[in-house]
Amino acid sequence: MERNLYERLGGEEAIAKVVDYFYNELVLKDASVNHFFKNTDMEKQLLHQTKFISYALGGSRTYEGKSMEKAHGGLNIQPSHFDTIAKHLHDALVHFGVAEGDITEALERVASLKEDIVHK
């Protein structure tokens, strides 16, 4: 039986490591996007994002957080910000040795959320 993307990436523990690296080594060090997290409880954000990404990649059948539109409302995220975050996610996945095909699949899932995130 073929494993889904969540399983191929190593499950929630592996995703938590990617999320931690993504934020602490890439996003929060990037002045073009780190201001979005200035007043964010990052410990809570890391846990939430791990759960959300796990859900988005097929690890769970339920997601109990806000809709993407509500979560990003009032932030005025521009396409360039979205693209920067996607690049950082790509780089975090590369850092952990994720196969390029799996990275492409993950980024396609992220791209499908763009309309609900940009200009909200």
Indicate the annotated binding residues for heme.
48, 72
HSE (side-chain half, CA atoms, 13 Å) at 56: 19
Query: From the annotation, which residues make up the binding site?
Result: 48, 72
Map residue 98 onto helix, strand or coil: coil
Task: Assign 77 to helix, strand or coil.
Answer: coil
The closest alpha carbon to 14, from 43, 54, 56, belongs to 54
